Structure 1
Amino acid sequence: MTADDFLPVDRKQAALGQLLFYDKILSGNKNISCGTCHHPKFGTSDGLSLGIGEGGVGLGTERHAGTGQSRIERRVPRNAPALWNLGARDVHTLMHDGRISAADTYGNLFNTPAEEWLPDGVDSVLAAQAFFPLTSETEMAGGTGENQVSGAVTDRIDNGWPIIAKRVRTIPQYGQRFVDAFHHITAPEQVTIVEIANALAAFQSLEFQSIDSPFDQYLAGNTAAINRAQKRGLDLFYGKADCASCHSGKLMSDQKFHAIGVPPFGPGRTRRFDLMARDVGRLGESDRIEDAYKFRTPMLRNVALSAPYGHNGAHKTLGDMIRQHMDPQGMFDEWTPASANLPKVEWLQHADFLIWQDRAEIERQSRVLASVTPTLSEAEIADLVAFLGALTGSSLDRPEFGVPNTVPSGLAVDLLNVR
Structure 2
Amino acid sequence: MIRPLAVALALCATGPAAEPLPAPLTDADFPPVDMAEVELGRLLFWDAELSGNRNISCASCHHPRFGTSDGLSLGIGEGGIGLGPDRRPDPDNYPEQRIPRNAPALWNVGALGFTVMFADGRIEADPGRSTGFRTPLEDEMVTGFDSILSAQTMFPVLSQDEMAGHYAENEISRLIRSGRITGPDGAWSAISARIAAIPEYEQMFKDVYPDIDAGRHIAFTDISNAIAAYMAFDFRSDTSPFDAYLRGDVQLDPDAMEGLRLFYGDAGCSTCHSGPLLTDMQFHAMGDQQIGPGKAERFESHQRDTGRQRVTGRPEDAYAFRTPSLRNVTLTAPYGHAGAYSDLRRYLVAHMSRGELPEPYDLGEAILPDMELTDEDWPMDGSLSDRAGIADASRTAPIDTPALQDAEINSILAFLQALEDPQAANGGRMGIPETVPSGLVVER
TM-score (normalizing by structure 1): 0.94
Which amino acid in structure 2 is aligned with residue 308 of structure 1?
A: P
Corresponding position: 1:234 with 2:263? no
Choose which of 198, 205, 215 in structure 2 pairs with 1:178: 205
CA-to-partner distance for each residue in 1:64-121, whole Å, 9 max, x for gaps? 12112x1211100000000000111111101011111111566422211221222111
Corresponding position: 1:202 with 2:202? no
Following superposition, the deviation at residue 270 of structure 1 comes to: 2.1
Choose which of 118, 123, 131 in structure 2 pairs with 1:95: 118
Choose which of 362, 367, 377 in structure 1 pairs with 2:405: 377
CA contact (8 A) 2:116 2:123 kept: yes
Which amino acid in structure 1 is aligned with residue 94 of structure 2?
A: R
Which position in structure 2 is the counterpart of 1:34? Answer: 58
- Greater CA deviation, 262-271 or 86-95? 262-271
CA-to-partner distance for each residue in 1:125-176, whole Å, 9 max, x for gaps? 1101011100011110011111111111122243311110000011000000
Aligned CA distance change for structure 1 residues 164 and 188 (closer, same or farther; 3 Å): farther
Which amino acid in structure 1 is aligned with residue 410 of structure 2?
A: A
Following superposition, the deviation at residue 325 of structure 1 comes to: 3.0
- Greater CA deviation, 103-112 or 238-247? 103-112
Choose which of 272, 294, 309 in structure 2 pairs with 1:268: 294
Corresponding position: 1:45 with 2:69? yes
Choose which of 298, 304, 308 in structure 2 pairs with 1:282: 308
Corresponding position: 1:350 with 2:375? yes
The gaps in structure 2 that reach 5 residues or longer are: 1-24
SS in 2 for 1:101: strand
CA contact (8 A) 2:49 2:438 kept: yes
Within 5 Å, give how 1:68-79 maps onto structure 2: 68=92, 70-79=93-102
Following superposition, the deviation at residue 272 of structure 1 comes to: 7.4
Q: CA RMSD in A?
A: 1.8
SS in 2 for 1:90: coil
Aligned CA distance change for structure 1 residues 377 and 249 (closer, same or farther; 3 Å): same
Counterpart CA distance in 2 for 1:274 and 1:100 is 24
Percent of residue pairs bearing the same amino acid type: 44
- Greater CA deviation, 265-274 or 53-62? 265-274
CA contact (8 A) 1:175 1:187 kept: no
Choose which of 353, 356, 360 in structure 2 pairs with 1:334: 360
Corresponding position: 1:390 with 2:414? no
Corresponding position: 1:213 with 2:236? no
Which position in structure 2 is the counterpart of 1:403? Answer: 432
CA contact (8 A) 2:64 2:427 kept: no
Following superposition, the deviation at residue 358 of structure 1 comes to: 5.6
Counterpart CA distance in 1 for 2:428 and 2:360 is 40
SS in 1 for 2:224: helix
CA-to-partner distance for each residue in 1:285-321, whole Å, 9 max, x for gaps? 1100001011110011111000000101111122222
Which position in structure 2 is the counterpart of 1:301? Answer: 327
Aligned CA distance change for structure 1 residues 56 and 332 (closer, same or farther; 3 Å): same
Which position in structure 2 is the counterpart of 1:163? Answer: 190
Which amino acid in structure 2 is aligned with residue 237 of structure 1?
A: F
Following superposition, the deviation at residue 331 of structure 1 comes to: 4.7
CA contact (8 A) 1:262 1:328 kept: no
SS in 2 for 1:380: helix
CA contact (8 A) 1:135 1:141 kept: yes
Following superposition, the deviation at residue 357 of structure 1 comes to: 6.0
Aligned CA distance change for structure 1 residues 270 and 355 (closer, same or farther; 3 Å): farther
Aligned CA distance change for structure 1 residues 145 and 271 (closer, same or farther; 3 Å): closer
Which amino acid in structure 2 is aligned with residue 260 of structure 1?
A: M
SS in 2 for 1:367: helix
Counterpart CA distance in 2 for 1:40 and 1:398 is 5
CA contact (8 A) 2:352 2:404 kept: yes
Which position in structure 2 is the counterpart of 1:118? Answer: 141
Counterpart CA distance in 1 for 2:68 and 2:88 is 18
Q: How many residues align?
A: 412
SS in 1 for 2:211: coil
SS in 2 for 1:333: coil
Counterpart CA distance in 2 for 1:73 and 1:299 is 31
CA contact (8 A) 1:267 1:277 kept: yes
CA contact (8 A) 1:325 1:372 kept: no
Following superposition, the deviation at residue 223 of structure 1 comes to: 3.5
Aligned CA distance change for structure 1 residues 356 and 404 (closer, same or farther; 3 Å): farther
CA-to-partner distance for each residue in 1:42-83, whole Å, 9 max, x for gaps? 000000000111121111111112112x12111000000000
Which position in structure 1 is the counterpart of 2:151? Answer: 128
Corresponding position: 1:364 with 2:389? yes
Following superposition, the deviation at residue 329 of structure 1 comes to: 5.5
Which position in structure 2 is the counterpart of 1:23? Answer: 47
The gaps in structure 1 that reach 5 residues or longer are: none
SS in 2 for 1:216: helix
SS in 1 for 2:232: helix
SS in 1 for 2:192: helix
- Greater CA deviation, 168-177 or 101-110? 101-110
Aligned CA distance change for structure 1 residues 329 and 115 (closer, same or farther; 3 Å): same
Corresponding position: 1:319 with 2:345? yes
Higher helix share: 1
Which position in structure 2 is the counterpart of 1:109? Answer: 132
Aligned CA distance change for structure 1 residues 386 and 314 (closer, same or farther; 3 Å): same
Following superposition, the deviation at residue 19 of structure 1 comes to: 0.3
Which amino acid in structure 2 is aligned with residue 212 of structure 1?
A: T
Which amino acid in structure 1 is aligned with residue 69 of structure 2?
A: S
Aligned CA distance change for structure 1 residues 356 and 196 (closer, same or farther; 3 Å): farther
Counterpart CA distance in 2 for 1:326 and 1:407 is 44
Aligned CA distance change for structure 1 residues 341 and 181 (closer, same or farther; 3 Å): same
Higher relative contact order (CA 8 A, sep 6+): 2
